[in-house]
Structures are given as C-alpha cells and as structure tokens.
Amino acid sequence: MATRSTTGGVSAVTDRVDRETLHGFLFALPYIAVFSAFLFYPLLKGLYMSFFEWDLLNPAQSEFVGLANYSTLLSDPLFWQALTNTTWFVVLTVPSLLVVSMVIALGINRGIKGKKVLQFFYFVPYVMTVSIVGFLWLQLYASNGVFTVYLGKYVGGVLTSETFALPALSLVTVWWQTGFYFAVLLASRQKVPERLYEAARLDGAGPWRQFWDITLPQMKNAIVFVLIAGTVFQFQVFGQVETMTSGGPSQSTVTLVYYLYQLGFQTFDLGYGAAVGYVILLILVGVSVLNYVIVGRGVDE
C-alpha cells in the first residue's frame, strides 16, 4: 500500500498485473500439468500409434503403416457390427431412460406418501458398481433366476439369444441408471412455477393438456440434457457387456468400447485399437457438435 502511494500509479499497476499473471498461471499449473500428461499427450500419442503396427514390448520396432489401420477398419465386419450394436443399444436405452425417469420424477413431485423410501429404491442402483450390477443380473437371467422363471416362457434364456441379449443388457442399464436421470428431471420439474398450472386450471386445461403445454416445454433444458448426456454416456457402454456376455452370443453384444478393449488388451492389436479409439472419438465429437447445432440452438441456459 505504501509503495503505491509514493511511487505513483503506473509501476504499481504493472506490478500488480504482472503478479496477477504469475498467480493466475501458478494456480492453473497443476490442472494444466495433469491435463497435458494424462489427457492431451495420450490423445496425440493415440493418433500417432494409429499409423503403426504397434509393438507393445518394443515400441521402437513398430512398423509404420500409414492409413492402413483406418482402411482395415472400413472393411472390418466386426467394427461395423460393433457400431450397429452400440447404436441399437443407445436407441434401446436412452428413450426408455427418459420415459421411466420422467414418470418417476413426475410421480415423486406429486407429494406422494413415502416419497423418501420410493426415492431410495429408484436411486440406489445408481451407486452400485457396474460389475456388481452385471453379476447380480447374470443371476436374475440364469435358468432359475427370477427373470427367466417369470418371463422365460416368452423370451427363453435371454443372454444366449442373439435377438434378446442386447435388449437384456439394456434392461439392466435402465435399472442401473434411472436414478441419475430421475434426479435431474425431478430438479427441473420442481423449478416449474406452480402459478402456470393454476392459470391453466382456471382456463380449464386437464392434466394431459397441462403436461403437454406446461410441463414438457418448461422442462425442455433438462430433457435435452438427458438425451445428449444419455447418448454420449450409453454409447460408451462397456461393463455390462464385459461382465455379462463377453460380447456373445456370436458377437451380438460386442459394442465399440468393448471391441476397443478386446483389441487393446486381449489381442494386443494396439495400433489398430488406437485407430478404432480415434474413430469412436470422432463419432462422439460429431454427435456432440450435431446436438449442439440442432438442439442447442433452441435451448437457452
């Protein structure tokens, strides 16, 4: 303080600005360091690796193959199957998650008795690890498991059926993840001003009209969040596949991240795996950008 008043404004101000620059940089440094080492560097290295027939034990011996990994990918039937399976999985899970969690959120919001207990049961699967979820459902889908005992006569043993294995994993996912989306939608519903409903009732709007004309438009941001975040997250499905089906029967549940895992850590095809990783990245960035352009425009924070 004393310096500032005696030596006058200019140098003190530059001092302070310099100090602020230094402090700003120092405070950002830990993040920049961790970010560079574990996110940015691997991202670049992955791109680099994807141009090689990568040798895990002697990386220096890796053979440069140019774009060969990417052209292999284009004609790799398993990659296309994984892409189809993953897309199908997203289509099965995201809308179901939206509908189920919406029903639950609206129900809880009505001030139903025993709200706390209900909320507990809807949310608790979300705090479970995917491996426990997978092994638990493996039992439910077993021949004497509760699912098969009641529904087996319609669908048979789901996990050994090429048609039903992926929907079966989707059901597990809806059970496991609903809590997350339900919480998001509930918060959004609670923010809708009650006077809108009062006004609508005065105008003689029934519950259905109120839902379409008030609830849905008012919750638009949260619904868009559920759709985008849900798509990006479910697209990376891995644990359910790894613990329950290992991609079977006959590759019907191989998803992209599971395929990536197989390439990297079972067949050790690292260069090709890196290329597959990059393509998954591009697809997801594309999805995000597309979402941002199409839906994001209509949503105001």
Q: Which of residues 137-196 bind another protein (CB under 8 A)?
A: 137-140, 142, 144-146, 149, 175, 178-180, 183-184, 186-188
| Per-residue binder mask for another protein (CB under 8 A), 247-266, x = binder | ----------x--xx-xxx-
User: Which run of H or E residues covers position 177?
Assistant: helix 165-190
Distance between CA atoms of 237 and 256, rounded to whole angstroms? 8
Q: Which of 73, 82, 92, 104 is the binder for another protein (CB under 8 A)?
A: 104
**Interface with another protein, residue 212, by CB under 8 A:** no
Of 11 and 162, which has the nearer Cβ to another protein? 11
Q: With helix as H, strand as E and coil as C, how does 78-130 read?
A: HHHHHHHHHHHHHHHHHHHHHHHHHHHHHHHHCCCCCHHHHHHHHHHHHHCCH
**Interface with another protein, residue 215, by CB under 8 A:** no
In whole angstroms, how close is the CB of 211 to another protein at the nearest point?
Answer: 13
Task: Give residues 67-96 in contact with another protein (rule: CB under 8 A).
Answer: none
Of 212 and 265, which has the nearer Cβ to another protein? 265
In whole angstroms, how close is the CB of 297 to another protein at the nearest point?
Answer: 14
DSSP tag of 39: I
Q: Which of 12, 83, 136, 214 is the binder for another protein (CB under 8 A)?
A: 136
In whole angstroms, how close is the CB of 154 to another protein at the nearest point?
Answer: 16
Beta strands in 21-68 (DSSP E): 52-53, 63-64
| Structure-token pair, residue 177 | 């993840």
**Interface with another protein, residue 97, by CB under 8 A:** no
Residue in 299, 110, 278, 138 with CA at minimum distance from that of residue 207: 110
In whole angstroms, how close is the CB of 260 to another protein at the nearest point?
Answer: 7
In whole angstroms, how close is the CB of 279 to another protein at the nearest point?
Answer: 9
> If you compute the radius of gyration of the chain from its CA atoms, what whole number of angstroms results?
26
In whole angstroms, how close is the CB of 51 to another protein at the nearest point?
Answer: 13
- The CA–CA distances, whole Å, from 213 to 133, 195, 300 equal 38, 14, 18
Of 99 and 162, which has the nearer Cβ to another protein? 99
**Interface with another protein, residue 202, by CB under 8 A:** no
Beta strands in the chain (DSSP E): 52-53, 63-64
